[in-house]
């Protein structure tokens, strides 16, 4: 009776397998840990994707949306607005300052035209010309006389610049003409050598009466033109001035040096001598500026110029 009946043993194969914990009588798994681990991994992955999605969404939000989402103050937006205000203020201040500079130069150019060009009319500026020899001489001598009498005639405050002309003079009166030049319309012939080495330049230096005449200079009244071959006449000199109206903008006044050139152009040889005045201004800070009652403006103006990122051009 103690012997094992093989038939009985073979009739319960499922029971022998179930003791190892693989399956029960119903055929289902007893071990439920495997599906639980997979579910945890899926939930963790979903949470990670959702976190990344929220971060990206928050990153691309506008400052206002971020404020509504988390109630955080938009410090970056405030900083950007502050930058815009500062840069805009700098541009406005620089524009106003530069406008004063350009206006001062243009107004002085018009002043010089009325002072040194005889019978000047602003409406005919581009076509200002003379047609007779007498008119040419009169315009030349008029410009030089006006220059010499400048302190007594002008409303503005100007100063001469000495030593910038020929032979150390203050004003240079020059004529250019062909070395060989002959035009004979009656015989339909001409002889002109326009090559640069064959163009002669004669100059006379002129000084204001308060300064002794420069050596080797002639009286400008003896200036004689060779009308049959002259190309142009130039009168060049410099004047100094101070733009005091910049004080209105709490800036240190700038000192100007005007390089003035009057040209009587006859290169066309058409019987019409065109006259024009050219003016170039160089600007620099004045030495030892002093504004009565506004001593603090010096430091303010210097700091404002340091803050501005743009730099004013040196020549106009």
- pTM exceeding the 0.75 threshold for the entire prediction: no
pLDDT, tens digit (0-9, with 9 covering 90-100), for 232-281: 999 999 999 998 876 766 677 889 999 999 999 998 888 999 999 999 99
Q: What are phi and psi of 175, to 5 degrees?
A: -130, 140
Residue 35 has pLDDT above 60, yes or no: no
Domain extents in the chain: 42-69, 123-289+296-306
**Average pLDDT value for residue range 27-52:** 64
For residues 170 and 160, give the distance between their C-alpha atoms in angstroms, rounded to a whole number. 7
What angle separates helix 75-116 from helix 133-148, to the nearest 10 degrees? 120
Per-residue pLDDT band at 135 (split at 50, 70, 90)? very high
Residue 96 has pLDDT above 80, yes or no: no
Query: Tokens 């930058």 map to which residue?
Result: 83
Q: Bridge partners of 243?
A: 254
Residue 301 has pLDDT above 60, yes or no: no
């Amino acid at each position: 009776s103690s012997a094992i009946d093989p038939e009985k043993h073979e009739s319960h194969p499922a029971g022998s397998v179930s003791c190892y914990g693989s399956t029960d009588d119903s055929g289902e798994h007893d071990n439920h840990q495997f599906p639980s681990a997979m579910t945890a991994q899926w939930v963790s992955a979903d949470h990670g994707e959702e976190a990344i999605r929220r971060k990206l969404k928050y990153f691309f939000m506008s400052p206002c949306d971020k404020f509504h989402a988390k109630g955080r103050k938009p410090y970056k937006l405030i900083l950007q607005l502050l930058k815009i205000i500062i840069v805009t203020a700098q541009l406005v201040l620089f524009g106003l300052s530069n406008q004063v500079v350009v206006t001062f130069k243009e107004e002085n150019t018009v002043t010089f035209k009325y002072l040194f060009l005889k019978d000047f009319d602003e409406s005919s500026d581009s076509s200002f010309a003379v047609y007779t020899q007498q008119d040419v001489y009169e315009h030349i001598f008029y410009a030089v006389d006006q220059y010499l009498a400048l302190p007594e005639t002008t409303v503005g405050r100007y100063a001469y610049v000495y030593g910038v002309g020929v032979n150390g003079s203050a004003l240079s009166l020059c004529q250019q003409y062909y070395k060989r030049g002959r035009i004979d319309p009656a015989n339909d012939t001409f002889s002109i050598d326009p090559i640069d080495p064959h163009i002669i330049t004669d100059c006379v230096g002129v000084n204001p009466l308060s300064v002794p005449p420069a050596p080797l200079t002639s009286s400008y009244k003896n200036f004689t033109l060779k009308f049959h071959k002259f190309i142009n006449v130039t009168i060049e000199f410099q004047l100094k001035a101070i733009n005091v109206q910049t004080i209105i903008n709490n800036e240190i006044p700038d000192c100007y040096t005007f390089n003035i050139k009057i040209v009587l152009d006859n290169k066309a040889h058409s019987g019409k001598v065109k006259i024009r005045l050219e003016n170039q201004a160089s600007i620099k800070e004045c030495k030892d500026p002093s504004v009565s009652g506004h001593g603090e403006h010096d430091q303010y103006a210097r700091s404002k110029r340091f803050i501005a990122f743009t730099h004013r051009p040196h020549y106009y």
